[in-house]
Chain A
Amino acid sequence: MNKPDKTIREKLLELNKPNQSYKDKYEKEIKKMLEKKLNYFWRAGFVVLSIIGLLVAIPFLKLTFSKIGHNELGMFIRSITVSGAALALAWMVLMGCIAVTGNLNLRNQPARMATIGIAFGFFFILYLMLVFIFPKALNESTDRSIIGIHIALIGFFFVVTVALCLIIRVLHRIGFKTCEKLLEIEYRLADLTDKLEGK
């Protein structure tokens, strides 16, 4: 600041009387910019994505409650299918919310969508492998224990990757929140100091 006297600044700003119709138009545009509303074409796209989430969640749930868990990898596969179903449902809800509200926060949601999307993608791939590749391999293989280890390793890789994605995302959010809280405390302290000094 050049000088503590802000009077001339305030007076100048008051003198600049805007045309209300131009200002209204500008405010509408700014509102749109901060909260991007999707058109019907985009909303329909998000409805489709939501339905895909539901369609993927159904076989996952079916697998979870089916008799697939008879061999020693049963619990492991079941935990994967449960997680897969949960992520598919989360995807369905997220896409559904965007489709219904038409709000797409361009700064906040992509990260959340990417996290769920990546996790969902990994589970979807794993699901395809479990349904189409592994049963065939199990039938054709002569040494089932090696196949079992392969499945466990691949599954472990997917689970670890998904877990890492989620942990990084959570840590990132915690970091931001902690920093925000610290700054809020610092700001309050500075405010109190100013008040005590009689400024």
Chain B
Amino acid sequence: MAEKQAIYFELLILRCRRGQKDALEELVKSWEKPLFYYIHRLIEDEQEAWGILQETWIKVLQSIGKLREPNKLPVWLYSITRKTVISHLRKKYSEKVLFEGNDNLSKIENYDSDHTFENAEQVHYGLSKISLLHRDILTLFFLRDLSIEDIAQVLSIPIGTVKSRLYYAKLALKDVLEKEAQKP
């Protein structure tokens, strides 16, 4: 399956490099939904999110010839998307504010780290309530396009940091959802 996907990515990139319009459309069509979801989780304003997605595609189409490993297409796409989002966020906030963790982890006890979030609606809601730092990594995780190693590449952090950040992000999400459930 992974091999088939790698061949598909290679073929798609080759056709995009040849300037085939249908291949470029296929690339945009197959990735715009997850990329928009990711952007919209980080950028609240929907109009701005669409603008960022458009800017992302400009960068993608301009640099598609430079992609040396087509099997890394998802990593490459999410990396470009994230960089575009960050450059937009930087215009508004300082770097420190951007990825500041605001979770009070000491309050959460007896957390089951293998807790699976099956309810997509709850996850979708919960993602909007946690910090940007946790939202960033959890969105990538729930979109299921990237492995832990891939997420590490997108975020430019070590794999160990990804794992611990994911752990704390899940804690934060669970905390939010529990608090929400307790509300009358």
Contact = CB atoms under 8 A, between A and B. Distances in A.
A1 B147 contact: yes
Given A18-B46, A183-B11, A187-B4, A105 B19 contact: yes
A173 to B, nearest CB: 8
A26 B53 contact: yes
Interface in B118-166: 118, 120-121, 123-124, 141-148
A190 B37 contact: no
Q: How large is the interface on A (under 10, 10 to 19, 20 to 34, 35 or more residues)?
A: 35 or more
Q: How large is the interface on B (under 10, 10 to 19, 20 to 34, 35 or more residues)?
A: 35 or more
Contact of B21 (A3, A35, A180, A194): A35
Contacts of A191: 4
A183 B21 contact: no
Interface of A: 1-3, 5-9, 11-13, 15-16, 18-19, 22-23, 25-26, 29-30, 33-35, 105-109, 176, 179-180, 183-184, 186-187, 190-191, 194, 199
A114 to B, nearest CB: 14
B179 to A, nearest CB: 20
13 contacts: A12-B124, A12-B142, A15-B120, A16-B36, A26-B53, A107-B19, A108-B20, A109-B19, A176-B14, A176-B18, A180-B18, A183-B14, A190-B3
Contacts of B17: 107, 176
B174 to A, nearest CB: 15
A132 B53 CA distance: 57
Interface of B: 1, 3-4, 7-8, 10-11, 14-15, 17-21, 24-25, 28, 33-34, 36-37, 40, 46-47, 50-51, 53-54, 57-58, 61, 117-118, 120-121, 123-124, 141-148
B50 A34 contact: no
Given A9-B142, A19-B46, A176-B18, A183 B10 contact: yes
Contact of B50 (A6, A25, A33): A25
A186 B1 CA distance: 13
B144 A183 contact: no
Contacts of A11: 120-121
A19 B51 CA distance: 13
